[in-house]
Chains A and B, each alone.
Chain A
Amino acid sequence: MKKADGTRFEIKCRIKNLKNRRVRGSHKAVTALFVCIFMIISGIGTAGCGGGQSGDIMSETRLLFDTYCTITIGQPIYSSKLDASNLISNLLEEAFELCEKYEALFGMTVTGSDVWKINHAKGEPVEVSRETVELIEHGLRFGELSGGMFDITVGRLSSLWDFGNNFNEHGGQTVPPQELLKKAQLTVNYSQLTTNAEKSTVQLENPESWIDLGGIAKGYIADKIAEHLRQNGVTNALINLGGDIMLLGKRPDGSPWRTAIRKPYGSENEYVGVLEIADASIVSSGTYERQFTEDGITYHHILDPYTGMPSTSDVISATVIAENALIGESLSTIAVLTGSEKIEIIFEQTAGFIGAVLVTDGGEVLIYGNAELIT
């Protein structure tokens, strides 16, 4: 923007000099007209070059949580155009700092993180941050709601599969041995996980059990960023943590944010449709996100805690619109695990659910609640 503004200013000065030195008499008005046309065109031209950053909206992308995270922030209220840029830059920095702070708390493989401490406590209660307790309690609520399909004590299983990291000597991924899977599966039981909000402690009664908050952490962090931005006067923002999207208000131009739903297993520009949403979250889960094929069978990363294997329901992609990204992330995963029929009642029973778009293995697109899909 600065560069574009600078160019425009330079052109303006040159025209002014020409006018003073050369143009005289009755044709002055005609010349002035052309000057006006030129100035207008220069203005349009420079505005068109603005890209993702202008005086009242800025966007930044960083690689976090093994994925690309983009945060877009519009001009906060009570700020003038002059100080908006600095203010937004600071808020972007603070938003990414929150990502790093929570990654350090919730990362299962981050030594010394709250989750790491819980998993290595050998059955003893561990004092952790208030946020970790809050997130775990949310995970437990969704464990109840889904009848155990969504279980945050799935850590041993998920680390055994270790999608995206666990490679054999040939550089490919492989299915873990059945005996290890069975052993890991026995450690999955969210009812053996207890929290104490007053003391800010968490206890895994089974010392062999591990928790994995990977299925809900990004949604929680997106909500925390949204809360921080709201407290600082931001009314328009798009927080996209690798597909976990939290939308604050509308676009700065007053229109709703437009989010496309990618066609499962399609190419980059194949979409199921577009959702026009304001002040809500949109989160997708799908069997195509992380997967590998062995002996002709494709294995994806959404694990059924009852079998220890990837889910085999009819839902291959679930996009949930909810009041916050934590609810959206939990429900979208549960939809892939339970399938298109059983999820309907769970959607109805969940406060904060707004709508959903599911795609089945037969290619059917199913709409639930208040979701208007533009195709």
Chain B
Amino acid sequence: MKKIKYKSNIFWILVLIGITVLSIAAMLLTRQASGTVAKIYLYGELIKTVNLATVTEPYSMIIEADSGRSNTVLVEKGRIRVTQADCRDGICVQQGWIYGGLMPIVCLPHGLAIQIDGGAYANIDAAVG
């Protein structure tokens, strides 16, 4: 009887060790992901979230504004940019890649904004200039 009880305790200890290890793994994965998540907003509304940490192959997507005009967004591991836009000033294309959470890409004529949460400059509260 005692032997069975002992085995049962060992089993539950192993289960708890397993849960602990899984918790640590989940925590680390969550932290990594939260540092490199790009959020795409159209007219202030979140329309897409891209986990840049898990991108293996670069890919493009077209974001269409209400006016029928569009921006082409290129996604690579850890970074994102606008590659083509039929807006009038093209500032969003000129801005190039963004990696961190400070300066969002903004295409005012199309109401598009791309912001990365956290990233390399997560300990900075704001940027000027």
Contacts and interface: CB of A to CB of B under 8 A. Distances in A.
Interface of A: 18, 22-25, 27, 30-31, 34-35, 37-38, 41-42, 44-45, 48-49, 51-52, 61-63, 66-68, 70, 72, 164, 167, 171-173, 238, 240, 243, 245, 251, 257-264, 267-269, 271-272, 274, 282-284, 286, 292, 317, 319
A268 B96 contact: yes
5 contacts: A38-B16, A260-B126, A262-B103, A267-B96, A282-B128
Contact of A268 (B16, B31, B89, B103): B103
A68 to B, nearest CB: 6
Nearest to B100: A269
Contacts of A261: 127-129
B24 A24 contact: no
Interface in B80-107: 88-89, 95-100, 102-106
Contacts of B9: 23-25, 27, 31
Given A25-B5, A38-B19, A68-B113, A251 B125 contact: yes
B120 interface: yes
Contacts of A267: 95-97
A31 B98 CA distance: 47
A75 B119 CA distance: 25
Nearest to A34: B16
Given A25-B9, A268-B103, 18 more contacts: A27-B10, A30-B13, A31-B16, A34-B13, A34-B16, A38-B20, A38-B23, A45-B27, A238-B126, A257-B126, A259-B126, A260-B102, A260-B124, A262-B127, A267-B95, A267-B97, A268-B97, A282-B128
A38 B26 CA distance: 12
A283 B115 CA distance: 21
B98 A269 contact: yes
B70 interface: no
B86 to A, nearest CB: 8
Contacts of A52: 117
B98 A258 contact: no
A31 B13 contact: yes
B126 A44 contact: no
A258 B95 contact: no
Contact of B129 (A38, A66, A317): A317
B49 interface: no
- Per CB-CB distance, the 4 closest pairs between chain A and chain B, nearest first, are A262-B129, A45-B27, A284-B128, A34-B16
B55 interface: no
B56 interface: no
A18 B31 CA distance: 29
Contact of B17 (A25, A34, A41, A251): A34
Nearest to A59: B125
A11 B5 CA distance: 25
A268 B100 contact: yes
Contacts of B96: 267-268
